C-alpha cells in the first residue's frame, strides 16, 4: 500500500516520512485521514494534509514544526494545530476524537478517543479512510467502511441512517463531492438525504455552518452542477423562503461563469476574484435589499462580502443607462465604476446584454481602473495653496484631464494646475 505514497511529489513524501519518524519517536500513533487519503487513492492533487494522532496532537505538531522551522498555530480547546509549510501546503494535526450529537442538527459533544472513533464520526465512506504512518504498517490503508470499494464504484455513502439528521450540513457535502467527482449518491443514502430534506433539517442547523458549506460549493471549479443538484434535491428555501431556482437563475449563473472566465483570461494581473461572491449574488437575485440585509445578519457574512452584496442591490437604472451609452467620457466612466468591486462590475456585465455596456466596462478595466496622477497635495502647497477642500477638487480635475487624454506627463499635469490657479 506504500505505493500510494510513492506517487506523491518528493516534498510531500518527505513530510509524511517526518511525521512517521515523530510517531515512532514519540510513541504516539499517527494517521493521514479524510480528504487527503480519498484524493491519494483517486490520484487527485491535494495539498491539505490531515493527520490524526492517538495522543497529544499539539505536542506532535510542535515537534514537527520545529524540525522544519515552520510556523504553526494551535487551538488548545480542540486539541488541534496547523503547520504551514510553503506554497499553500499546510498540515492539520488533531487528537483522535469521538463525537456524539445531543440532539439533531446540534453541535457535537467531543471527547478524545481512538482512530476508530475518529473515523466513525465522519461523513461518507470515501472520507472515512486513514493511511497509517506507523512503523510496521507504514502506508497501510485503514478502511473500516469499504470506502475504497465506493471510490471504485463512484458512490457517496453515509456511514449510518441518521447521518443527515445528526449533521444536516452533510446534505451539502454529499452534493458537492458527488458533483465534483462525477459520482452518484448511493440509493439508500439518497433516501436518507431526501428524508432529511423533507424534514427541513437544513433550516435547523446553525446558519454559519450552512454558510460555510454553501461557500465551499460555490468555490468548486464548476459550481453550476452542484448548485443545480442541490436545488433539485433540497430547494433553496433553507437560505431564504423567497428563494427558488428558475430558468432565469440558471441563465444568470451561466452568464456569471462566462464573465469570470473572461476576466481570468483578459485581466490576468488583477486580484483574484471572489467567484463564490458572484455566484451567491446571482442566486439571491430575486431577493430585495431588506431581505439581503437580513440574510447577511442571519448567516453572519463578513463586512466586505455584505458590502458587495448591497452595492450590487443598490445599483440604479440610471447607472445602467449611462453605461449603455455608446459614447461616454472616460472620466465619467471612471467615476461610475471605480467605487465598485470587480465582482459587482462583472455582475453588471453578466446581467445586461447591451453591447455598449460590455465594451465600456472592458475599456474601464483595460485602461482606466486604478489610474493615478503624479500631482500631489505637496505640489499644491508649493504653489501656495492652503490645505482644504479645494485640494480634492483640483486633484480631481487633473485626474479627469488625464483620464480624458488631455494631459499625459507630470509636467503637463503641473502646467494644468498652474492654469487652474491662474499662476503664470
Nearer to ligand ATP, 202 or 403 (CB): 202
Interatomic CA distance for residues 276 and 220, integer angstroms? 9
Query: Nearer to ligand ATP by C-beta: 173 or 211?
Result: 173
Number of residues that bind ligand ATP (CB under 6 A): 12
| Selected binder of ligand ATP within 20, 95, 132, 169 (CB under 6 A) | 169
Whether 67 and 55 have beta carbons less than 8 Å apart is answered as no
Closest by Cα among 153, 214, 146 to 182: 153
Angle between helices 207-218 and 224-234 (to 10 degrees): 140
Q: Nearest approach, Cβ of 283 to ligand ATP (angstroms)?
A: 20
What gap in Å lies between CA 394 and CA 291, rounded to an integer?
A: 41
> Which CB, 128 or 227, lies closer to ligand ATP?
128
Q: Are 347 and 282 in contact (CB under 8 A)?
A: yes
Least Å from the CB of residue 274 to ligand ATP: 17
Q: Are 284 and 245 in contact (CB under 8 A)?
A: no
* Cβ 108 vs Cβ 209: under 8 Å: no
Q: Give the dihedral sign, CA 15/21/25/27.
A: positive
**Stretch touching ligand ATP by CB under 6 A, among 122-130, 285-293, 337-345, 416-424:** 122-130
178 binding ligand ATP? (CB under 6 A): no
- Point out which span in 64-72, 121-129, 302-310, 311-319 binds ligand ATP (CB under 6 A): 121-129
What pairs with residue 84 in β-bridges? 71, 90
Region binding ligand ATP by CB under 6 A among candidate stretches 119-127, 318-326, 341-349, 363-371: 119-127
Task: Candidates 35, 55, 113, 207: give the one binding ligand ATP (CB under 6 A).
Answer: 35
- CA 94-151-210 angle, 5° bins: 55
Three cell numbers, residue 106: 446540534
Give the x/- contact pattern for ligand ATP in 48-77, rule: CB under 6 A: x-x---------------------------
Determine, following the binding rule CB under 6 A, whether residue 34 of this chain makes contact with ligand ATP.
yes
- Asked if residue 402 binds ligand ATP (CB under 6 A), the reply is no
Cβ contacts of residue 313 below 8 Å, gap of 6+? 288, 289, 292
| Residue in 54, 143, 150, 167 binding ligand ATP, rule: CB under 6 A | 167
Question: In the complex, which residues of this chain contact ligand ATP (CB under 6 A)?
Answer: 34-35, 48, 50, 122-123, 127-128, 167, 169-170, 173
Amino acid at each position: 500500500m506504500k505505493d500510494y505514497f510513492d506517487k506523491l511529489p518528493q516534498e510531500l513524501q518527505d513530510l509524511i516520512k517526518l511525521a512517521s519518524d515523530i510517531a515512532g519517536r514519540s510513541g504516539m500513533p499517527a494517521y493521514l485521514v479524510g480528504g487527503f487519503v480519498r484524493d491519494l487513492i483517486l490520484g487527485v492533487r491535494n495539498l491539505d494534509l490531515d493527520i490524526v494522532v492517538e495522543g497529544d496532537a499539539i505536542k506532535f505538531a510542535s515537534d514537527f514544526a520545529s524540525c522544519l522551522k515552520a510556523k504553526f498555530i494551535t487551538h488548545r480547546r480542540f486539541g488541534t494545530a496547523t503547520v504551514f509549510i510553503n506554497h499553500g501546503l499546510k498540515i492539520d494535526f488533531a487528537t483522535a476524537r469521538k463525537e456524539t450529537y445531543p440532539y439533531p442538527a446540534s453541535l457535537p459533544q467531543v471527547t478524545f478517543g481512538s482512530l476508530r472513533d475518529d473515523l466513525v464520526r465522519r461523513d461518507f465512506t470515501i472520507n472515512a479512510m486513514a493511511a497509517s504512518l506507523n512503523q510496521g504498517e507504514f502506508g497501510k490503508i485503514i478502511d473500516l467502511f469499504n470506502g475504497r470499494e465506493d471510490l471504485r464504484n463512484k458512490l457517496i455513502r453515509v456511514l449510518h441512517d441518521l447521518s443527515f439528521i445528526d449533521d444536516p450540513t452533510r446534505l451539502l457535502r454529499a452534493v458537492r463531492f458527488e458533483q465534483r467527482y462525477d459520482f452518484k449518491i448511493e440509493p439508500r443514502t439518497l433516501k436518507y438525504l431526501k428524508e432529511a430534506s423533507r424534514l427541513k433539517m437544513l433550516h435547523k442547523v446553525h446558519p454559519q455552518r450552512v454558510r460555510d458549506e454553501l461557500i465551499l460549493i460555490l468555490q468548486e471549479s464548476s459550481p453550476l452542477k452542484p448548485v443545480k443538484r442541490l436545488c433539485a434535491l433540497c430547494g433553496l428555501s433553507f437560505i431564504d423562503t423567497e428563494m427558488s431556482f428558475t430558468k432565469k437563475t440558471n441563465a444568470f449563473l451561466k452568464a456569471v461563469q462566462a464573465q469570470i472566465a473572461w476576466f481570468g483570461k483578459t485581466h490576468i494581473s488583477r486580484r483574484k476574484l471572489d467567484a463564490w461572491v458572484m455566484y451567491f449574488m446571482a442566486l439571491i437575485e430575486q431577493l430585495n435589499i431588506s431581505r439581503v440585509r437580513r440574510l447577511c445578519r442571519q448567516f453572519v457574512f463578513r463586512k466586505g462580502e455584505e458590502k458587495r452584496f448591497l452595492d450590487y442591490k443598490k445599483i440604479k437604472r440610471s447607472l445602467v443607462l449611462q453605461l449603455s451609452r455608446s459614447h461616454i467620457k472616460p472620466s465619467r466612466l471612471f467615476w461610475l465604476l471605480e467605487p465598485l468591486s470587480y465582482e459587482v462590475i462583472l455582475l453588471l456585465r453578466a446581467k445586461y446584454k447591451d453591447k455598449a455596456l460590455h465594451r465600456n466596462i472592458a475599456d474601464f478595466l483595460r485602461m482606466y481602473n486604478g489610474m493615478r496622477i503624479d500631482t500631489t497635495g505637496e505640489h499644491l502647497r508649493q504653489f501656495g495653496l492652503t490645505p482644504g477642500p479645494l485640494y480634492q477638487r483640483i486633484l480631481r480635475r487633473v485626474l479627469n484631464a488625464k483620464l480624458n487624454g488631455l494631459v499625459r506627463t507630470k509636467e503637463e499635469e503641473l502646467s494644468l494646475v498652474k492654469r487652474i490657479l491662474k499662476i503664470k
